[in-house]
Amino acid sequence: MERLEDRPERWFDRQRAGDVLKKTYPVTFGSSREFNRMVDLDVRRREFLITLRATPVNPNRAKEMKDELAVMNKDMDILKEIVKGQAASVGLRAPQQPQQVETFAIIGLVNMAIDSFASMTIPAGPNPSSTKVGRYTVSDFGGLLSTVTTPEGQTLRCTTLVYPEVGAGIKCEPPGNKS
């Protein structure tokens, strides 16, 4: 989506990217009206920002758009907390003990993605993004690589597995483990 923002004429591709997100999310976490609304708000917000940046806009309309952006940002903050809670409850409902670390990894990565998605900021610096999920620390190194550090201090390397049209999963194992 960010790459498409440099090309205002690619609005159709941005719309399609939002639709893909709305179709992929339910496969992994279940249906969420709040997630769909968050995606719709994000796409609309991006279009407003692109328009304000790339085209001359009547000052009155520019003020209206900026006022609408402020409302969208507030709505986005509310929605992202709801969606993060939904994702966590889905992950924690599954009582699969061997996959507990993967569950924490998924919840942490989704939370970081939602925060990033909803804030439209690009993380700065060489350090990975990280978050706490319970007593576990989840770090995102970008791409498909992340780690989970357990309360005991063990760090597991996690790889995101993407299945087009089906969803996504994650596999975590100690570094050096060949499976």
> What tens digit of pLDDT does each residue of 86-113 get?
877 765 555 444 557 888 887 888 778 7
Better-predicted residue by pLDDT, 168 or 64: 64
pLDDT at 12 over 90: no
Rounded to whole angstroms, the Cα distance separating 25 from 111 reads 13
Band of pLDDT at residue 119, cut at 50, 70 and 90: low
Mean pLDDT over 60-68 rounds to 94
State pLDDT tens for residues 22-48. 777 776 677 889 989 998 998 888 888
Rounded to whole angstroms, what are the CA distances from 71 to 31, 41, 56, 77, 177? 25, 10, 22, 10, 48
pLDDT exceeds cutoff 50 at 150: yes
What pLDDT does 93 receive?
A: 55
Q: In degrees, to the nearest 5, what angle opens at C-alpha 116 toward C-alphas 49 and 111?
A: 145
How crowded is residue 161: how many other Cβ atoms within 10 Å of its Cβ? 11
State the amino acid at position 141 in one-letter form.
F
| Terminal Cα-to-Cα distance of the chain (whole angstroms) | 34
Instruction: Please report which helix (H) or strand (E) contains residue 149, including its range.
Output: strand 145-149
How many residues in total does the chain contain? 179
Q: Residue ranges per domain, the chain?
A: 1-93, 101-179
